[in-house]
Amino acid sequence: MKILEIDAKTILSKHSLAIPQGTVVTSPMEAFNAADSLSRPVVLKVQIPSSGRMKAGGVKFAQTPDEAKNEAAVLLQTTINNYSANNILLEEKLSVNSEIFLGITYDADSRTGVILGSVSGGIDVEKSDKIARAIFSPQLPPPDYIGRQIAIELGYESKDLLNLSRIITALVTCFIQSDALLLEVNPLILTSDHEWVIADVHMELDDDALFRQKELLKHVPYSNDLVLQTSDFEQLAKEIDSSDHRGVAGRLVAFDGNLGMLMGGGGASMTIFDAVLNAGLNPANYCEIGGNPSVKKVKELTKLILQQPSVDKLAVIMNVVSNTRTDLVARGVIKGIVELGLIPKDVISVFRIPGSWEKEGYDILDHYKVSYFGRETSIDEAVDSIKCRF
Amino acid sequence: MPILADSNSRIIVQGITGREASVFTKESIQYGAQIVAGVTPGKGGQTIHNVQVFDTVQAAKQSHNADATVIAVPAPFVRDAALEALAAEIKLLVIVTERIPRRDVVTIIENATQLDARVIGPNTLGVISPNRTRIGMCGGNAKDVRRAYMQGPVGIMSRSGGMMTEIANQLTQSGIGQSTCVSIGGDPIVGSTFLDLLPLYEKDQETKALVLFCEPGGTMEERLSEYLNANSCRLPIVAFIAGRFADRMQGIRFGHAGAIVERGRGSPSDKARLLRNSGVYVAEKLSDIPQLVKENT
């Protein structure tokens, strides 16, 4: 789950980390008033879940309340990476002594937490090759020396060093306690008063840990709204999936092709999708099923996919299944097609799900005169056979 | 003698009273696996498919001398179950549960490493040494397992459990059997990577070749390629990399930290290139795998 800057800052301030003074504004007039009450130069930042805001023109500076009003008016009309800016974070502009980048995440190589620091903060940090790096265990509490090690490598000394190391410890603690997958402060600013302040932050929470982050989720209202803003098609697929706990059916992404796809999950869907593109076919969607979905789930998903205007045919392909039952998928697909008033043998361009309960599945397909492939036919051959169905 | 699991492996199932676990317990026993005990806290004293259920791993281990565990408890309880198994000195943990919080996964692996125990998974379908045993649920019921898997000289390591059975089935259809097949788990962080398991296969006289199923993301393939560039390996390796379309379509943009951690690695085409450069036979199509294995062993 992506956490917007404004919400991430709320979380960080609960960990006693310093953030700039500021507020969320939703109109030019609010921007004027907010800048007026801060009575100093300000920065206005659109709150969208997309990185590269600065380069895309989503960040503006203003010297006066009038300028803030005008910039807010511009930002509220701006669309960046398909996100419109409804909320703007207006903050005091910090006086910068120096700025750094700090990133905290998990590293698949070392299989630990990892802290990355760089003195070239800002938007080009990925190109920097002077990266300070330290690993940590997510089993609480993080020792302070890790922060000191990073601060020293970044070239800070005396009081700046000690303050920075405390901030690193606090960030790691926040990362662990929030079940974050990514906590990135870019930049972390050392002000001319030698205070470390978090100017911008990217935070991503572990969806698989949200069940134990209920308290935190109460404090991220803007990010919660974001979760609701998925496209209708994807939203409907989610609803089908959550209607029944049996199996996974509905991780769905739409394209504009004519071939609807129901595929085995994970590695299978990637393999099948590659084969479909290599065969020059035009998929209408990416959709994974697995974990033995119920007939109802498969039926609803089949209908959803076939109701896309561009879709003519449906391809149903999985790896040799051991948990998902061939017969239940076959029944669900056929029911969905029949309920739409269509003829299964015309709509199904290929059916290839060998494995558990295959005999029962094949009996259903035979009954509707739908041809199918068994385990002796590879996924590639099954996909290639679709070409002659168009 | 296969790796990780053979017919002598004495297996417990944590979460044995769960719907899925009770099914794969029955199927594993039918396949010939020695499932000697189950653990579900609060349900000690029951039996499931003639397997005794205990409240603790310690008790199950003491009564039945178990050496491996399949952890199939719900995601919020996996950390606890794994730490309990490690405390009871179980040395092989196969974690089939998916969607476990990343923090818990890292915690489990850290503790396992300290105790010199091996973790397979999470989000794995398990380990199978055809004809000998299965630890987990790969391949489904005993009849289906026997159709897809057969004993022979090829080891499989797969980032996808479902595709492991698909590949085994392909090999079996071509008359090529398997030594040990490991579904290493579909998560970004897993207890045992390709590189972690390679030395075991190298030592295993039964294994004559390896097949890998790779996916985009992470650095497991890159690490393997670095190792192969620097070390000799007696086994010919055939790899298939799924998700090549990720290179053509706009991928998910990770944060700066993700990009720095992986330093531009992780794309399927890079993985293919690097593996090929280090002597791995990269299959362009999944169905090329059996032929590549035949040609190179």
* pLDDT higher than 60, residue B140: yes
Tokens representing B183 are 């579904």
How would you classify the pairing of strands A59-62 and B10-14? unpaired
Specify the long-range contacts of residues A124-133, CB closer than 8 Å, at least 24 apart.
A125/A101, A125/A186, A125/B256, A125/B260, A126/B256, A126/B259, A126/B260, A128/A101, A131/B260
pLDDT of residue A388: 85
Q: Which residues in chain A touch residue B148, judged by CB atoms under 8 angstroms apart?
A: 320, 322, 355, 375
The answer to whether residues A278 and A332 touch, using CB atoms and an 8 Å cutoff, is: no
Name the pLDDT band for B264 (thresholds 50, 70, 90): low
Nearest CB among B103, B169, B218 relative to A138 is that of B103
Give per-residue pLDDT as tens, B222-234.
999 999 999 999 9
With CA atoms as reference, report the closest residue to B171 among B6, B31, B297: B297
**Range of lowest pLDDT (A275-289, A358-372, B23-37, B186-200):** A275-289
Given strand B209-214, what is the order of strands in its sheet?
A: B133-136, B126-129, B178-183, B151-158, B209-214, B237-241, B281-283
- Average pLDDT score over residue span A312-331: 94
* pLDDT higher than 60, residue B256: no
pLDDT of residue B218: 85
Give per-residue pLDDT as tens, A271-319.
999 999 999 999 998 888 888 889 999 999 999 999 988 999 999 999 9
Name the pLDDT band for B253 (thresholds 50, 70, 90): very low
Specify the long-range contacts of residues A350-353, CB closer than 8 Å, at least 24 apart.
A350/A315, A350/A316, A350/A317, A350/A382, A350/A383, A350/A385, A350/A386, A350/A389, A351/A316, A351/A317, A352/A316, A352/A317, A352/A318, A352/A377, A352/A379, A352/A382, A353/A264, A353/A316, A353/A317, A353/A318, A353/A321, A353/A324, A353/A326, A353/A329
Distance from CA of B32 to the nearest CA of A (A): 17
**Range of lowest pLDDT (A33-37, A177-181, A233-237):** A233-237
Beta bridge partners, A198, equal: A188
Nearest CB among A104, A108, A274 relative to B218 is that of A108
pLDDT of residue B251: 44
* pLDDT higher than 60, residue B255: no
> Does the distance separating the beta carbons of A320 and B257 come in below 8 Å?
no
With CA atoms as reference, report the closest residue to A348 among A244, A260, A246: A260
- Average pLDDT score over residue span A81-108: 91
- Average pLDDT score over residue span B244-259: 57
Q: Which residues in chain B touch residue A278, judged by CB atoms under 8 angstroms apart?
A: 285
Distance from CA of A28 to the nearest CA of B (A): 31
Whether B49 is catalytic: no
CATH code for residues A232-389: 3.40.50.261
Name the pLDDT band for A389 (thresholds 50, 70, 90): confident
The answer to whether residues B211 and B239 touch, using CB atoms and an 8 Å cutoff, is: yes
Give per-residue pLDDT as tens, A236-261.
777 777 766 666 666 677 788 999 99
Q: Which residues in chain B touch residue A274, judged by CB atoms under 8 angstroms apart?
A: 242-245
**Range of lowest pLDDT (A136-140, A166-170, B251-255):** B251-255
Query: Taking the C-alpha atoms of B68, B224, B288 and A257 in order, what is their torsion angle to the nearest 10 degrees?
Result: 100
Distance from CA of A92 to the nearest CA of B (A): 25
- Please count the other Cβ atoms lying within 10 Å of the Cβ belonging to residue B285: 18
**Range of lowest pLDDT (A132-141, A220-229, A327-336, B87-96):** A220-229
d(CA B65, CA A278) in angstroms, rounded, equals 51
* pLDDT higher than 90, residue A210: yes
pLDDT of residue A214: 95
d(CA B276, CA B251) in angstroms, rounded, equals 23
Tell me the CA end-to-end span of chain A in Å, nearest whole number.
Answer: 40
A265 close to B (CB below 8 A): yes
d(CA A232, CA A342) in angstroms, rounded, equals 24
- Average pLDDT score over residue span A209-230: 86
**Range of lowest pLDDT (A164-168, B106-110, B227-231, B259-263):** B259-263
**Topology, domain A1-20+95-229:** D-amino Acid Aminotransferase; Chain A, domain 1 (3.30.470)
> Does the distance separating the beta carbons of B99 and A274 come in below 8 Å?
no
- Average pLDDT score over residue span A352-379: 95
Q: Which of B256, B257, B264, B285 is catalytic?
A: B256
Name the pLDDT band for A121 (thresholds 50, 70, 90): low
Interface list for B 87-146 with A (CB within 8 A): 99-104, 106-107, 109-110, 125, 137-141, 144-145
* pLDDT higher than 90, residue A349: yes
Tokens representing A161 are 């060093």
- Average pLDDT score over residue span B128-141: 95
Q: What is the pTM (predicted TM-score) of this model? A: 0.91
Whether A1-20+95-229 shares its CATH topology with A232-389 is answered: no
Interface list for B 174-233 with A (CB within 8 A): 186, 188-189, 213, 215-216, 218-220, 223
* pLDDT higher than 70, residue A123: no
Residue of chain A whose alpha carbon sits nearest to that of B241: A271
* pLDDT higher than 90, residue B11: yes
pLDDT of residue B254: 40
pLDDT of residue A50: 73
d(CA B88, CA A51) in angstroms, rounded, equals 46
With CA atoms as reference, report the closest residue to A184 among A100, A88, A90: A100
pLDDT of residue A342: 96
A111 close to B (CB below 8 A): yes
* pLDDT higher than 70, residue A126: no
pLDDT of residue A244: 66
Q: What percent of chain A has pLDDT over 90?
A: 73
Tokens representing A202 are 């990217």
pLDDT of residue A206: 94
Domain range summary for chain A, segments of one domain joined by +: 1-20+95-229, 21-93, 232-389
A158 close to B (CB below 8 A): no
Distance from CA of B236 to the nearest CA of A (A): 23
d(CA A90, CA A67) in angstroms, rounded, equals 12
Residue of chain B whose alpha carbon sits nearest to that of A374: B169
pLDDT of residue A133: 93
The answer to whether residues B63 and B39 touch, using CB atoms and an 8 Å cutoff, is: no
Give per-residue pLDDT as tens, B40-66.
999 999 999 999 999 999 999 999 999
Tokens representing B26 are 């029955």
Q: Which CATH superfamily is domain A21-93 in?
A: ATP-grasp fold, A domain (3.30.1490.20)
Q: What percent of chain A has pLDDT over 70?
A: 93
A119 close to B (CB below 8 A): no
Name the pLDDT band for A358 (thresholds 50, 70, 90): very high
> Does the distance separating the beta carbons of A108 and B220 come in below 8 Å?
yes
